[in-house]
């Protein structure tokens, strides 16, 4: 598996088109990891329909919605997996208490980060088997899992177009795994990505609102944005240089639940912050109510090598096209 190292971006023409994800499930079912690597290198992503079983998805969704309900933001009278919101109640949360990159308050997000089911889902055998085959070795699952709980609170804006590498660094062969917890059509704000954009390497950034706080500066030219409607269990994964963003969420009355998880070859170095929680809580605080010890500090068993942080990657720079 080659490393997606930074290269100079080509100058492109002006057109922009949209197309749908290619389902790579047949290649995975055949165990054709050479074919999957080639497709990933050509397209800058891999999409799998129904990779995760419904029961695993629903367990985490139910627990996350229970947190939403505990804060009084969920409409009463729904079945346990229903995501209808009481927007009047949600908008009572002061702006300064919100995690605008997540969609709920800081306190609620801390409660979600304490959920054992939330941290267990990225370790599902179906996902681990895929990355093991893709990397040709065991995968290190970054424990810094991110829950997106996208709501229509007034501070929320869609995630801007960006690359994950400047935000996570470490191995350039890190892949992001994104999947919704339940059906997520494009109108619910699913992800779209720029086909083959990983081949441009690192792209200069500018500051902006939204998750991550940065946006890549794209040159004018022919751009193929790939998107699709996600069904429960569908999984999208892409290298850390692939440009991606969220589509606008048009169903304001619904919460959109999804996970962002990172995977890399276990032999590669990882940046220290990727081994920390995605909130100010300590691992001891997160683990306090867990029933099992199996996933506590699991990454220590592989004694990961650490890589330095490069702050210059998050400095705005002028793009020369």
Specify the CATH number for the domain of residue 49.
Answer: 2.60.120.620
The total domain count for the chain is 1
Cβ–Cβ < 8 Å for 49, 257: no
Residue 3 lies in a domain: no
3-class state of residue 260 by DSSP? strand
Count Cα neighbours of 51 within 13 Å in the Cβ-side half-sphere.
32
Is 92 part of any domain?
Answer: yes
Q: Which domain holds residue 202?
A: 16-314
pTM of the model: 0.94
Q: Ramachandran region of residue 160, left (φ > 0), alpha (ψ -120 to 50) or beta?
A: beta
Does 64 map to a domain?
Answer: yes
Please state, in angstroms and rounded to a whole number, the distance separating the CA atoms of residues 237 and 250.
24
Residues of the chain with pLDDT under 50: 1-14
pLDDT digits (tens, 9 = 90+) for 202-225: 999 999 999 989 999 998 887 999
Task: Give the pairing of strands 16-20 and 270-271.
Answer: unpaired
| Beta carbons within 10 angstroms of residue 281's beta carbon | 17
CA distance 190 to 217: 22
Looking at the domain assignment, is residue 144 inside a domain?
yes
């Amino acid at each position: 598996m080659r490393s997606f190292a930074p290269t100079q971006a080509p100058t492109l023409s002006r057109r922009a088109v949209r197309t749908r994800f290619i389902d790579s499930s047949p290649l995975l079912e055949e165990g054709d990891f050479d074919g999957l690597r080639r497709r990933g290198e050509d397209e800058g992503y891999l999409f799998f329909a129904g990779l995760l079983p419904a029961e695993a998805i629903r367990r985490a969704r139910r627990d996350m919605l229970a947190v939403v309900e505990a804060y009084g933001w969920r409409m009463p009278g729904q079945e346990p997996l229903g995501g209808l919101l009481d927007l009047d109640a949600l908008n009572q949360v002061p702006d300064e208490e919100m995690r605008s990159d997540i969609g709920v308050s800081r306190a609620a997000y801390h409660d979600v980060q304490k959920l054992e089911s939330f941290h267990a889902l990225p370790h599902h055998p179906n996902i681990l088997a895929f990355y093991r085959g893709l990397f040709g070795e065991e995968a290190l699952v970054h424990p810094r899992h991110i829950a997106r709980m996208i709501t229509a609170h007034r501070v929320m804006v869609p995630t801007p177009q960006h690359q994950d590498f400047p935000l996570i660094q470490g191995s350039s062969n890190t892949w992001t795994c994104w999947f919704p917890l339940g059906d997520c059509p494009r109108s619910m704000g699913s992800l779209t990505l720029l086909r083959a954009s990983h081949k441009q390497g690192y792209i200069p950034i500018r500051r902006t609102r939204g998750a991550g706080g940065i946006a890549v500066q794209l040159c004018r030219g022919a751009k193929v944005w790939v998107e699709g409607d996600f069904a429960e269990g569908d999984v999208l994964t892409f290298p850390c240089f692939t440009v991606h963003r969220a589509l606008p969420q048009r169903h304001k009355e619904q919460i959109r639940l999804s996970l962002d998880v990172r995977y890399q070859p276990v032999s590669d170095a990882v940046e220290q912050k990727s081994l920390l929680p995605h909130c100010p809580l300590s691992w001891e605080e997160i683990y306090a109510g867990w029933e099992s010890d199996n996933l506590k500090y699991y990454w220590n068993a592989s004694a990961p090598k650490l890589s330095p942080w490069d702050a210059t990657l998050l400095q705005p720079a002028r793009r020369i096209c």
